[in-house]
Structures are given as C-alpha cells and as structure tokens.
Structure 1
Amino acid sequence: MSIIGPHVDLQIDGNAALVVASSSGLGKASAKALAREGANVVINGRNEDRLEEARKEVEEVATNEVVAQQGDLTDTDDITELVNTTVEEFGTIDHLVTSAGGPPSGEFLETTDEDWEHAYELLVMSVVRLAREAAPHLKEGDGGTIVTITSRTVKEAKENLVLSNSVRMGVVGLEKTLSKEFAPEVRSNTLLPGSHETSRIENLIESAIERGDYENYEEGLEDWAGNPLGRIGDPMELGDTVAFLSSPKSGYINGAALPIEGGSTESNL
C-alpha cells in the first residue's frame, strides 16, 4: 500500500538525501520512497552484504543515483564519512533521515549501565552527530529537511521496553529544538512508528510459529496488528510519509511528532 504514488510530483527530483540505517526495515523503505521520487540517495548499514542487497533493491525503483556507504552509527568517524560521502557524490545534503534499530528489550532492573550507554549512543548521539555534521549543508538552500524515525513508545510506554521508552524521548526533544534553531532554512520532524511488516517482525512471527504460538503467518500478523485499522503497517506507508515530509508539499509542517501506527496508542495527543 502506498499513500503517495509516483504520479505525484513531490518536487525533490535531483535533491540529495542521506538515509541512515537503511539496509533494511523502515530505513530502507524511506530510501526507496525518496529514490522513487527522484532524489539521489545515500543508504547506510553495518553489514556489507545486506547493504549491497538493499542498494540493488532501492535502485530498482530509483530514477537517479543510489550510493551505499557502510558504517556504524555509534562510530563518530563513520558518521563523518557518511556525510562527506554524500557531499562528495552529490554536492550537498538536502534531506537527512535518521533511524536506528531498537535497543534490547528488558525491564528496568534487568538493564546495566552499559545497556543504557549503548542505547543512548545508538539512538540519541547518532542523531546529534549526524545533525551537527549535516547542518551546514542542509542550511545552504531553503528546503532542507530532517526526519527522525523513533517509536510510538515515546507517547505510550510499553512493557519490557524500558530503554526504548526512555532513551528515544531524547530524540524527540532534539528534533523539536532543531525545528526552532535550524528554521527557516531547515524543517525538522519526527515519526513515531508502530508495528510494520519489516524483516524483524517477519522473523519474530516465524520464530513464534516454530514455538507453537501461532498456527500460521497470517495469524501472527493479526496478533501484531492490534489497532483500529485491523492490520499491520506496510513499511512503504512510512517511507512515503518520509518522502512527503522531505518535500515542499509539506512546507508548513515543522516540529511535529507524527504517529504512524494505525491508531494503536491510547493517548489523545
């Protein structure tokens, strides 16, 4: 399912986008949506083989260039190289999309200082460093954008996810601050995804089938849905939202935190 088809001109053709943690999942969907709309895209991941597979997949829908840059988001040198590669390849950075894999599940008393420090480095400091490095390039024009992908857990804490519930809040506070400090040249927004049918969810369902928790994959999908729409999200639905927020079509949206979760959270705002 796609909320924005290729027949809609989002006016980002030829723009340069850096999409991190994009060798799989929601990051890859974001890269595909931007590439399909004509942006030149740099994708990123830690695993070289998986990153190359993602590059080929993104290229299938791209109308301009796709570059793959291996790197670890907890490594400051790798982050600098990601930004430098994008600028060397495309001359600037118009759009920055940040994402990262979720930290380990667990209750508060099960977590160590090292767990907290790693989660903070991965989820918060990666965004801090990327935004700092990319800022001069994003500000060069009048249409720069930052989209941070976090989680619905920042609005509604979930059981057994203390690290995600707590640490991701820092990204939302940063995004809101950047929406003020970087404006008007750069708009900053964040997305709060719920369950989407990514490879991670597929693997979890398949493992649950092997344990006997579900009879088949469809039953597992229904269990993961848990929202008023009665279905799990398609990653491209989130990717299309990233492309929209990166485009002039969303030009008056700034500092927003948008849930993409089928209405599953109970909070009013």
Structure 2
Amino acid sequence: MDLELEDTSALVTASSSGLGKASATALAREGANVVVNGRDADRLADTVSELQDVGDGDVVGVQGDLTEKDDIEHLVERTVEEFGGLDTLVTSAGGPPSGPFLETTDEDWYDAYDLLVMSVVRTVRAAAPHLAESDNGTITCITSRSVKEAIDSLVLSNAVRMSVVGLEKTLSRELAPDVRANSVLPGPHETSRIEDLIEQAIERGDYDSYEEGLADWAEGNPLERIGDPIELGDTVAFLSSPRASYINGVALPIEGGQGASNL
C-alpha cells in the first residue's frame, strides 16, 4: 500500500534508538524527509547514516534534550528550515525509572512529568502552526500500554503517561480539522533496552539464554512473542498518512492482544 508520504516532512523526537527510531525508519522508508533527534551525538549520527539507506528522502539529525525548552524549539525550527514545513510530528521519549510508589521521591515525579508530558506539550506548541499549514498535518504520540493497565513497579509510567493520552485526545478536537492527533500504546518490543535487560538477567543467572529471556517477556501474550519495533513503526507511519485520514483521537494498543482491558 502506498501511504502517500513521499516528499512530506516529519519530525520524530527521541528517535536515535528504540521505538522512536523504528517510527523514523518506517517514515523514511515511505519516502518522507525525516528529522531524527537524540542526546548522544555518536548514536544520532549512526541513526542518520542508517536511515539514509532505507528511502529516497532526506534524513537530518538534530541533537537536543527533550527536557530543555530551547532545545525543543530549535528542533522544530530546524525541521521547518530543512524541509520548508512540517507535516508529521511523532513524539517519543525514554521511560522513567521503575520502582514502587513508596520509593519514589518528589524529584522523581517532577522529572518524569518533565520528560514524558512537558516534552510533548512544548513540541506540539512549537509545531502546531506549521502542522496546520500542511494538507495532512498529523501528531502521533508514542506512550505505553501502562495507560490502559497499570504495570507493577512502574508507578511513574502508569500515572504520568495518562496525561499524554488526555492531551492527545484534547488536541484531536482543538486542532481539527487541520491536524489529526492519535497515540499508540506499545507493549514490549524487542528494542535495545529489552535486549540489554535480558543480557543483564543472563549475567545474573536468571536465564540460561537470550531465547529463554525473550520467551519470558512474551509470557501470556496470545501471539506468543513480543513485538518487532518496525511493527510499531509501520503503524505510526500509517496513522501519519492520508490513508488514515478519518482516524483521529484514537489511543491504539500495540501489544499483541496481551492486555485484558475491554476498551
């Protein structure tokens, strides 16, 4: 299916690795011009080099910290300067520390809110005027399945990420019809973070092999596996495309049916 994204412009935050990188990859593969973002200069450069080989569009790396307002504004400005406008915004950010409620501090809460919520608020605020000028302005927020069902020892993610979905739903009404806004709620995907966690568990003696660790992560999933990051990326690309022109205000779980929630 042609997603009609060739020669469009996209900005994907926190996209030098993980699900943000997968989303940027899927957009680049469809011919979009993509700005990727990260804090680590070397990792960002590697991502740019890798993505330049997957599609015909331009790929530009912009270093920046999503907890810094000036960095976010520069990120959006640079995208518009490079590509002459902005059609697609995908917001992503790393996860907050794990731990139970009674072990989290006020600082942990404020840091999680700044990273997960204010990064989206500031990025959308800077991008909205440019998205409104597009023929297909879209926002897709990558959050977590934890907004549907609380996950043990992830109180910060469980509580704070729900604000992003509330924001996305509000944007889907306030910015329409010029801009559509949706969110995706991923379960476990085989990102470098999952790979690192499994390798650490092997070193501790929890697993005998990587395959055993991967199977443990997939326990209880009807599809008997965890996701490939590009499966999430392809979904983001579809939601960003004219093919999804009547999908607005949706929070879409992408977790193989693992969740037990009816809605």
TM over 0.5: yes
Aligned partner of 1:186 in structure 2 is: 179
TM-score, length of structure 2 as denominator length? 0.99
The equivalent of 2:253 in structure 1 is 259
Amino acid at match of 1:248: P
Is the aligned partner of 1:38 residue 2:54?
no
Name the counterpart of 1:225: 218
Q: Which of 133, 145, 148 is residue 152 of structure 1 equivalent to? A: 145
Which of 244, 254, 263 is equivalent to 1:250? 244
Offset at residue 56 of structure 1 (A)? 1.1
Q: Which residue of the partner structure matches residue 235 of structure 2?
A: 241
Match runs of 1:1-269 below 5 Å: 8-226=1-219, 227-269=221-263
Check the 8 A contact 1:142/1:184 in 2, yes or no. Answer: no
Aligned pairs, number: 262
Whole-Å Cα distance in 1 between the matches of residues 21 and 218 of structure 2?
21
Give the letter for the 2:21 counterpart.
K
Tell me the secondary structure at the aligned position of residue 11 of structure 2.
strand
Q: Which amino acid aligns with 2:243?
A: K
Counterpart residue identity of residue 256, structure 2: G
Aligned to 1:4: none
Q: Which moved more, 1:141-150 or 1:167-176?
A: 141-150
Residue type matched to 2:211 in 1? E
**TM-score (normalised: structure 1):** 0.97
Q: Runs ≥4 in structure 1, deviation > 6 angstroms?
A: none
Once the two structures are superposed, what CA deviation does each residue of 1:56-102 show, in whole Å capped at 9, x if it has no partner? Answer: 11112021100000000000000000000000000111000001000
Give % identity: 71
For 2:236, give the aligned amino acid. Answer: V
Q: Distance in 2 between matches of 1:262 and 1:22?
A: 23
Would you say the 8 A contact 2:86–2:134 is kept in 1?
no
**Structure 2 unaligned regions, length at least 5:** none
Deviation at 1:9, TM superposition (A): 1.0
Structure 2 residue identity aligned to 1:262: G
Asked if structure 1 preserves the Cα contact closer than 8 Å seen for 2:7 and 2:57, the reply is yes
Measure the CA separation in 2 of the matches of 1:47 and 1:73. 12
Aligned equivalents of 1:193 and 1:148: distance in 2? 11
Deviation at 1:32, TM superposition (A): 0.4
**CA offsets per residue over residues 88-137 of structure 1, 9 Å max, x none?**
00011100000100000011110111100000000000000000000000
Paired letter, 1:229? L
For 1:16, give the aligned amino acid.
S
By how many angstroms is 1:230 displaced? 0.1
AA matched with 1:47: D
CA contact (8 A) 2:11 2:86 kept: yes
In the alignment, structure 1 segments of 5+ residues that lack a partner are: 1-7
Q: Give the secondary-structure state (helix, strand or coil) at the position aligned to 1:72.
A: coil
- 1:61 aligned counterpart, secondary structure: coil
Equivalent position SS for 1:136: helix
Deviation at 1:142, TM superposition (A): 3.0
